[in-house]
Amino acid sequence: MGSDETDMVFGGGAVWLADGPARSVTRLDPLTHEPTVFEVDGWVANVAVDPDSDAVWVLLAAERQE
C-alpha cells in the first residue's frame, strides 16, 4: 500500500484501495489487516465492488489528470 490512494470501497468482505501512482489495487482483510496487492496495467482511477456478485471492478485512466 502506498500513500497516494485514489479511491477506497468496502465490499466482498474486504476494504479495497486504489493506488493510481503505484498502478495497483490492494485488498485489505478487515479482520487480520493483511494486505494483498494486485498490480494493474495503468493508472487506477476508481475501484468498485458489485454487492450481488462481489466482483471487483477497476477503472483505469489513460493518464494522470492534474
Whether residue 41 contacts residue 53, with contact meaning beta carbons closer than 8 Å, is answered with no
Position 5 pLDDT exceeds 70: no
Kindly state whether residue 53 falls inside one of the protein's structural domains. Answer: yes
Kindly state whether residue 11 falls inside one of the protein's structural domains. Answer: yes
What's the pLDDT at 33? 95
Kindly state whether residue 39 falls inside one of the protein's structural domains. Answer: yes
Mean pLDDT of 37-48: 92
What's the pLDDT at 21? 85
- Domain of 14 in residue numbering reads as 5-61
Kindly state whether residue 34 falls inside one of the protein's structural domains. Answer: yes
How many CA within 13 A on the CB side of residue 62? Answer: 0
Which residues face 62 on adjacent strands? none
3 DSSP 8-state letter: S
Kindly state whether residue 37 falls inside one of the protein's structural domains. Answer: yes
Kindly state whether residue 66 falls inside one of the protein's structural domains. Answer: no
Q: Give the pLDDT band (50/70/90) at residue 20.
A: confident
- Name residue 53's amino acid: S
Q: Give the pLDDT band (50/70/90) at residue 59.
A: very high
Count of domains for the chain: 1
Residue keyed to cell 496495467: 41
